[in-house]
């Protein structure tokens, strides 16, 4: 008799367990490893600011810095810059990925981004830079000359502080970062390389470093999409 009851008891247990799973499905445990790239922040709240404060800060910029800039430029400077989310995510991912690839101790708590205020060069100069020469063929970007923009540069924490560095160049991971490599990364720098004849040759090198730019400026872009300006 017991042998006949056991299969039914087991079937009942399976049905009860399945019902529980359906009613209370298991939840994915967020990643807790601090060194994991693309850590799960689903348990964190979205950072917020008071709308009134944002209006206040934007108005302060408009009525002070921008007012004086427009006076000097004799034109309307850009007052916002937009980046698509995918561009930002790829930049942050590659910053962390390349840093850890070159130095395992470059953990997330040591990495950051410094945002430099910048301005695009005149049209005559744009054509000299492959990163932006294509602006001249764009109906909107061709008018970016002299306008405000932002350049994002990776930073790493050393004994000096949070210094600018190149995630693909391990020599910039210590000390003053890029500043310690002025001969390599400085304006108008030259790079010393071994020549074919065994001697040293110096050549003007168009060196590159991790950075992000190319956001969409308003103006000259359409300001109807903005909420906090004018």
The pLDDT tens digits of the residues spanning 135-153 come to 999 999 999 999 999 999 9
pLDDT exceeding 70 applies to what percent of the chain?
76
Calculate mean pLDDT across residues 210-218: 88
pLDDT score recorded for residue 3: 53
Round to whole Å and give the CA distance between 41 and 25.
Answer: 21
Q: Which tens digit of pLDDT belongs to each residue from 6-32?
A: 555 555 655 665 565 565 566 554 544
Question: Per-residue pLDDT averaged across 31-45, rounded?
Answer: 75
> CA 216 to CA 66: how far, in whole Å?
18
Q: How far apart are the first and last CA of the chain?
A: 84
Q: Which residues pair with 117 in a beta bridge?
A: 150
Domain spans of the chain? Answer: 2-218
**Given a cut of 50, is residue 46 above it in pLDDT?**
yes
* Residue 124 scores a pLDDT above 90: yes
The residue ranking higher by pLDDT, 12 or 228, is 228
Residue 73 pLDDT: 87
For residue 92, what pLDDT is reported?
A: 94
Q: What is the pLDDT of residue 1?
A: 53
| Model pLDDT for residues 149-165, shown as the tens digit of each residue | 999 999 999 999 999 99
Predicted local distance difference test score (pLDDT) of residue 132: 93
């Amino acid at each position: 008799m017991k042998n006949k009851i056991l299969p039914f008891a087991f079937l009942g247990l399976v049905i009860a367990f399945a019902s529980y799973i359906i009613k209370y499905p298991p939840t994915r445990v967020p990643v807790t490893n601090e060194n994991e790239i693309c850590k799960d922040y689903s348990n964190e709240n979205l950072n917020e600011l008071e709308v009134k404060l944002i209006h206040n800060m934007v108005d302060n910029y408009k009525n002070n810095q921008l007012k004086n800039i427009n006076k000097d430029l004799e034109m309307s400077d850009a007052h916002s810059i937009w980046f698509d989310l995918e561009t930002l995510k790829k930049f942050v991912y590659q910053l962390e990925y390349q840093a850890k690839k070159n130095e395992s101790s470059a953990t997330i708590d040591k990495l950051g981004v410094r945002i430099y205020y910048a301005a695009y060069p005149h049209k005559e100069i744009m054509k000299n830079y492959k990163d932006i020469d294509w602006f001249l063929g764009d109906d909107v970007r061709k008018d970016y000359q002299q306008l405000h923009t932002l350049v994002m540069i990776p930073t790493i924490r050393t004994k000096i502080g949070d210094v600018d560095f190149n995630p693909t160049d391990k020599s910039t991971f210590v000390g003053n970062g890029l500043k310690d490599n002025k001969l390599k990364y400085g304006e108008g720098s030259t790079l010393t390389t071994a020549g074919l004849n065994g001697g040293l040759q110096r050549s003007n090198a168009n060196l590159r470093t991790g950075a992000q730019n190319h956001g969409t400026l308003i103006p000259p872009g359409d300001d109807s999409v903005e909420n906090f300006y004018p």
